[in-house]
Structures are given as C-alpha cells and as structure tokens.
C-alpha cells in the first residue's frame, strides 16, 4: 500500500469535516427517547414472552384434548369458584366440559386459587376470585398493564412503537376513554382508587373514578416547568408529584411538589427523591444516593409529609446492595423495599423511621404488590413465578406463574 | 439508569457529540442523515449505558453503533451497488494530490460500500488500530486490512478516472 496516499487520504478527510458546524445536541431529548425505548422494550419483552408461552400452551392443550384453544369468552365470564389453579391456562376463559383441571399441563402448579388479580395475555384480567374479564379492543392493541381502581381498572395498552393508551375498564368489561385522551401519560392514584392524576401537556388532570369526570386541573409550569413528571400520588386533598430535571439545557426542577387541591397552594421540596406516600398521606418514603458510579450507596428513609416535605430522617442503607424503591403496605405498617438487582426486603415502617437496617425478611424476588398488611405478593419480571408471602415468619406460597401466560400482577387501589 | 448515570450521559453527549458528528458525517455523507445517525447511536447508548462498565469505552461503543447502523442503512438503500474493482497502486498516487480536495475525497468516499467506508473512516479519521476496528466491527484483522486496502485502491482508481476525464 502506498503510504503517501494513506497520509493524503487521512489529511483530506480530516479537512473535509473541519467546516462542519458543531451540532447542538439536546441530551435531554435523547434521554426522553432512551427512557421511552426502554419502557417499550420491557413491555415488548413481557408481551412477547407471554405470547410465546401462550402459543406453546395452546398447542399443548389442543394436543392433549383440553378443548378448543381458539374459543373466545364473554367480556365478563366466571370460571367458577375453583379459581386459578383450574382456570384455563390459555387465557381463553372457558374451562369447558373437559375441565382444564384434568388436562392442566402444570402438575407442579399450586392447585389452590391464586387469590391475586393478574393480567393475562389475550387482553384478559383474572380477578382474585377467578372471574375473567376481557378487555375489548384497547386503543393500543395489547394491554400491558392494569391497575385496580374504584369501579374497574385503568389499563395501559400499546405496541412497541407507540406511546401507550390509557383507558378505563369498568367492572362489567366496558372500555371507556378519558377526556382528554391519555397517551403515554404518567399516572398516579388515590389510595382508595376513587381518583387518578394524569399529566397531559403542562397540566395534571385529576379524574374522579369511576365517573371519569375531571375534578381538578393543575398547571405544573409555575413549579416544575421544563421538568419531567416521574411519579404522582393523590392523598386526601393533596396532589404529590416527583419531578426530575431534564438537565442544563433549560430551566428545570428536581424534587417534590405538593399541591393542596382545596386551597390551590403548593410547596416545593427540591432534590428529594420521593418513592412512595403512605395511604393516609402522613409518611413519605425517600430514596437517597451517596457517591456515584460503582461506589454509590443507595439508601431509603421514612419521613413525615404534609403540605410540605423535609429530608430530615434516619437513613437505612444496604451494604453491598442498592435499596432503590419502596412500597408502603395499605395501612402503612410495613415497607417492602426493592433491592437492586433483584429482591425485596421487608421492614416495619417504625424500623425505617428509627434507622434500623435489619429487615424482618429478605426475598430473592421482586415486589409485585401488597395484598393487605398481612401479605405481600412477589413476582419476577415476567410473572413466571408469583408468590404470596406473609409478613409473619411463615413461608411464602407460590400462587401463580408459569406455565400460565401471565403479564403481571395487578395492584389494587381500593 | 439512575440520576448520576444520566448526568454522566449528559456530560458525555455534550463533550463528544461534535467529534462523533464528524465520524457520522463521513459515514453517511449528509449532514441531516449524520445527525439522524448520531441521535440513533446516542439513544442506543443510553439504553446500553448500565452495561458499559468502562466509562472509557463509551465513545467506542457509540462509534461501533454508528458504523454498524450506517452499514445497515446502506444495505437497505444500496443493496444493488457493487464495490469498485481494485487497480494496482501505481500511476495515480501523484495525481491524487492534484485532485483530492476535501469535498471531492469525501464524495468519492461515499461511493465505496458501507463496510469499506466504515473501515476507512475508523482507521484513518478516528485513528483506530486494525485490531480495534476489527473488534468494533466484529470482523477479523485481516478483513480490516483487506477492506482498507481495497477501499484505498478504489479511491485511487476513481481519482484516476476523474483526472483522466478532465
């Protein structure tokens, strides 16, 4: 090879880009795209895995003569009091005369009713009592998430490319849209499931459930304009929201804003990473990070919250692990803390308030939801294993999972 | 990604975007497409951020994504194009200096198949070693050497053609 030509080539192409004006790259826009892509990827992974599993199970069921796999069920159907263990693992909703209990391809599955609301593939919800509810023609095609609220469920549906559509499914299986329409909105709920907050543009709308009437509309710009809404809670007459700044490219706010919906006043608590608010609205769970990168230590703390929030409180940190999220039990007695990369530690709320770092129990599976103050539901990412774990020392019990085509455990706010 | 990770990501984007845009520009030859390519690569990098254990490897990761993405774009749009036939090194080396103004060389670079172009850009613009290019593109070192040789030969050939046509 002629090295003079190589040198000439190197110098020439370098010159050819010297005139290129630097691009003003909006890192926050990239982050928004990245977050959205991650959410779509996770949802698609869950849907694809469950769909593939459902297909395998359908074939298996047909092969063993379990009945017609393509059978559709009514919007609301009840498989009877036997519940989960004997319900149709294909999600078609009709045990049929042969009974799936006889041809259940999962001899290892717990035959007892799950007693847990779950989202199945095929846009179907199965309630704790075993009732099957079909979600008819959701706006986004495939439902990937459902939350139990007063009078029904709030369901999120969407493919891998579109922002998810958020709609209301009545107990009777009727789908209703919110006005304004919710597309990719961050939502949060009242503890009793009777209201829901959702961001649309610069406003957070507070919908009454199940009427879907807009009760409040809060302009976030004065307090958190230019920031991204990360999470929100409705507690009494307060709307609590966590925002994250989008960087140095413009004005922004990272922290917590609390609006009093009765008085119209609001307060801000900058730089606080709020992860949950107890159902009575009196306690807040904060996450904190000390240091950066591999040396970072993640901690949680429980502090009082009212119309304002302060960071004062003792922290509990997990040596060698990251304590990243937490969920108060319905009555606030317990906090289930998510441990990164996988696991859940159970603390009494009073322990965290006192800074006692020794959990009551440790589980090697992710948090799913609280069933009540006596038992929590744990599930892995694809809901291939769902366990019910008492807050006492009793062992956990597997209540659902593979080979059932689950998409996830449903959290109920009522 | 946690907040500190996103902050480091922002800092990386701000610090390195201008240089990365130049690489993207050489890979696709058009400012608009270069910006699209860079954005695509940076979003993919965001998604992979937690898996990139060595912060020093981040830029290499972006370049790899750009190179492979540009190649896939090229395959979709120009699948019918054939690489130029190589000619011996002789005769045109001196002539290259007469013709090779920057824009013309960049234009000729775009006539090469995407993989050859990626190798030349990474090897001669980004000053990467054969071994690094090989690892980045997932090909052998000998393949890198072959692509570079054939790419440069094709450029000399095309430069010679243009001179002869004057």
User: Going by DSSP bridges, is the β-strand pair A266-270/A255-260 parallel, antiparallel, or unpaired?
Assistant: antiparallel
B4 vs A289: CB contact, 8 Å cut-off?
A: yes
Q: Which of residues 4-63 of B touch A (CB under 8 A)?
A: 4, 6-10, 13-14, 17-18, 21-22, 25-26, 31, 35, 38-39, 42-43, 46-47, 49
- Choose from B10, B56, B112 for mutation: most chain A CBs within 10 A: B10
pLDDT, position A283: 96
Q: Which of B35, B53, B80 lies at the terminal end of a domain, its last residue? A: B80
Same domain, A175 and A39: yes
- pLDDT at residue A410, rounded to an integer: 93
Residues A164, A39 share a domain: yes
Q: Give the nearest chain B residue to A38 (CA atoms).
A: B47
Phi/psi at B43 (5° precision)? -65, -40
* A73 and A147 assigned to the same domain: yes
Looking at the fold, whether A360 and A391 belong to one and the same domain comes out as: no
Query: What is the rounded distance in angstroms from the CA atom of residue B152 to the CA atom of residue B77?
Result: 23
Asked whether residue B71 falls in the same domain as residue B28, the answer is yes
Do B42 and B92 fall within a single domain?
no
pLDDT of residue A375: 93
Mark whether A168 and A192 lie in a shared domain.
Answer: no
Residues A80 and A223 both lie in one domain: no
Check B105 against A9: CB less than 8 A apart: yes
Name the band, by pLDDT with cuts 50, 70 and 90, for residue B40: confident
> Which residue, B19, B52, B80, sits at the end of a domain?
B80
Q: Do B15 and B74 belong together in one domain?
A: yes
Does one domain contain both B164 and B144?
yes
Residue B153 domain boundaries: 83-166
CB contact under 8 A, A1 and B89: yes
Angle formed by the axes of helices B31-48 and B3-28, nearest 10°: 150
B90 and B23 together in one domain = no
| Closest in B7, B43, B103 to A16, CB measured | B103
Determine the residue of chain A that is closest to B104 in CA distance.
A16
Token pair recorded at residue A221: 């710009």
Report residue B138's pLDDT band, with 50, 70 and 90 as the boundaries: confident
Residues B135 and B115 in one domain: yes
Cβ contacts of B145 on chain A, cutoff 8 Å: none
Residues A57 and A97 in one domain: yes
Q: In chain A, what residues touch B89 (CB-CB under 8 Å)?
A: 1-2, 5
Q: In the predicted model, is pLDDT for residue B70 greater than 60?
A: yes
What pLDDT is stored for residue A146 in this prediction?
Answer: 94
**Chain B residues inside the 8 Å CB shell of A36:** none
CATH of the domain at B76: 1.10.1740
Q: Is residue A112 part of a domain?
A: yes
Q: A220 CB contacts (<8 Å, ≥6 apart)?
A: A199, A202, A203, A204, A227, A229, A241, A243, A257
Residues A32 and A96 both lie in one domain = yes
Token pair, residue A206, equals 């507070």
CA distances from A18 to A11, A14, B107, B125 (A): 11, 7, 15, 12
A114 and A47 assigned to the same domain: yes
Domain check: are B55 and B98 in the same one? no
Phi, psi of B102 (to 5 degrees): -60, -50
| Long-range contacts, stretch A286-293, CB < 8 angstroms, 24+ apart | A286/A311, A286/A313, A287/A323, A287/A324, A287/A325, A287/A326, A288/A315, A289/B2, A289/B3, A289/B4, A290/A317, A292/B4, A292/B8, A293/B4, A293/B8
Domain count, chain A: 3
- H/E run at residue A146: strand A143-149
Kindly tell me if the per-residue pLDDT of B8 is higher than 60: yes
Q: In angstroms, rounded to a whole number, what is the distance separating the alpha carbons of residues A28 and B55?
A: 20
Q: Are residues A62 and A206 in the same domain?
A: no
Q: For residues A222 and A259, is the Cβ–Cβ distance under 8 A?
A: no
Question: Which residues form the domain of A309?
Answer: 274-364
Q: Return d(Cα A376, Cα A116) in angstroms, integer.
A: 10
- The rounded average pLDDT for each run of 10 residues, N- to C-terminus, in chain A (414 residues) is 74 81 76 75 58 48 37 32 30 28 30 71 90 90 91 84 83 95 91 96 95 96 83 96 67 86 94 92 89 69 91 79 83 90 87 89 90 91 83 87 83 90
Distance in Å, alpha carbon of B79 to nearest chain A alpha carbon? 25
* Residue A94, pLDDT score: 29
Residue A6 included in any domain: no
Which one of A224, A253, A271 terminates a domain?
Answer: A271
Residues B113 and B152 sit within 8 Å (Cβ to Cβ): no
Q: What mean pLDDT, rounded, does chain B reach? A: 76
Instruction: Read off the CATH number of the domain in which A244 is found.
Output: 2.40.10
- Please name the residue of chain A whose CA is at the shortest distance from the CA of residue B96: A5
Per-residue pLDDT band at B134 (split at 50, 70, 90): confident
Domain count, chain B: 2
Tell whether B132 and B149 lie within a shared domain. Answer: yes
Q: Is this structure's pTM higher than 0.90?
A: no
- Please give, rounded to a whole number of angstroms, the shortest distance from the CA of A337 to a CA of chain B: 17
Considering the domain architecture, whether residues A161 and A280 belong to the same structural domain is answered as: no
Of B46, B61, B80, the residue at which a domain comes to its end is B80
- B91 and B166 co-located in one domain: yes
- pLDDT for res B162: 64
Which of A7, A19, A25 is the mutation pick for testing B, counting most B CBs within 10 A? Answer: A25
The two structure tokens encoding residue A96 = 């049929």
Q: Is residue A411 part of a domain?
A: yes
Which of A254, A271, A288 finishes a domain? A271
One domain for residues B49 and B74: yes
Return the residue in B5, B121, B124 with the most chain A beta carbons within 10 A, the one to mutate for interface testing.
Answer: B124
Do A359 and A379 lie in one domain? The reply is no
């Amino acid at each position: 090879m002629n090295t003079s030509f190589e040198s000439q080539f190197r110098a020439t192409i370098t010159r050819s880009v010297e005139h290129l004006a630097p691009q003003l790259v909006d890192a926050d826009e990239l982050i928004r795209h990245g977050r959205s892509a991650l959410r779509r990827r996770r949802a698609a992974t869950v849907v694809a895995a469950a769909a593939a599993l459902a297909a395998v199970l359908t074939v298996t069921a047909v092969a063993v003569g379990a009945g017609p796999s393509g059978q559709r069920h009514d919007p609301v159907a009840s498989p009877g009091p036997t519940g989960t263990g004997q319900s149709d693992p294909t999600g078609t909703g009709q045990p049929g005369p042969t009974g799936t209990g006889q041809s259940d391809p999962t001899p290892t599955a717990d035959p007892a009713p799950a007693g847990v609301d779950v989202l199945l593939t095929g846009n179907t919800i199965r309630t704790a009592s075993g009732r099957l509810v079909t979600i008819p023609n959701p706006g986004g095609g495939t439902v990937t998430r459902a939350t139990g609220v007063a009078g029904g469920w709030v369901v999120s549906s969407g493919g891998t490319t579109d922002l998810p559509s958020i709609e209301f499914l009545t107990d009777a299986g009727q789908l209703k849209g919110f006005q304004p329409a919710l597309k990719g909105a961050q939502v949060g709920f009242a503890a009793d499931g009777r209201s829901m907050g959702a961001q649309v543009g610069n406003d957070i709308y507070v919908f009454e459930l199940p009427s879907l009437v807009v009760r409040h509309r809060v302009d976030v710009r004065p307090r958190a304009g230019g920031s991204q809404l990360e999470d929100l809670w409705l507690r009494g007459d307060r709307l609590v929201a966590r925002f994250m700044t989008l960087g140095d490219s413009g004005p922004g706010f990272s922290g917590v804003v609390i609006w009093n919906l009765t008085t119209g006043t609001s307060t801000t608590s900058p730089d606080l990473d709020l992860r949950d608010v107890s159902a009575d609205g009196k306690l807040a769970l904060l996450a904190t990070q000390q240091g950066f990168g591999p040396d970072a230590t993640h901690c949680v703390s429980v502090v009082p919250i009212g119309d304002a929030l302060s960071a004062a409180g003792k922290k509990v940190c997990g040596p060698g692990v990251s304590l990243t999220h937490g969920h108060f039990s319905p009555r606030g007695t317990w906090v289930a803390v998510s441990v990164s990369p996988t696991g859940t530690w159970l603390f009494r709320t009073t322990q965290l308030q006192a800074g006692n770092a020794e959990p009551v129990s440790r589980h090697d599976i992710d948090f799913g939801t609280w069933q009540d103050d006596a038992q929590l539901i744990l599930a892995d990412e694809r809901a291939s294993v769902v366990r019910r774990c008492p807050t006492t020392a009793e062992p956990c019990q597997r209540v659902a999972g593979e080979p059932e085509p689950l998409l996830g455990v449903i959290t109920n706010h009522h | 990604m946690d907040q500190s990770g996103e902050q480091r990501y922002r800092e990386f984007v701000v610090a390195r975007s201008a240089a990365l845009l130049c690489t993207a520009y050489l890979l696709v030859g058009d400012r608009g497409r270069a910006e699209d390519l860079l954005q695509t690569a940076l979003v993919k990098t965001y998604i992979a951020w937690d898996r990139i254990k060595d912060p020093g490897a981040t830029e290499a990761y972006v370049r790899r994504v750009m190179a492979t993405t540009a190649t896939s774009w090229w395959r979709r749009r120009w699948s019918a194009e054939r690489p130029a036939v190589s000619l011996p090194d002789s005769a045109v080396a001196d002539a290259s200096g007469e013709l090779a103004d920057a824009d013309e060389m960049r234009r000729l670079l775009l006539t090469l198949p995407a993989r050859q172009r990626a190798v030349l850009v990474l090897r001669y613009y980004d000053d990467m070693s054969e071994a690094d290019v090989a690892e980045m593109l997932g090909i052998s070192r000998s393949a890198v050497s072959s692509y570079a040789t054939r790419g440069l030969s094709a450029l000399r050939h095309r430069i010679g053609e243009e001179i002869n046509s004057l």
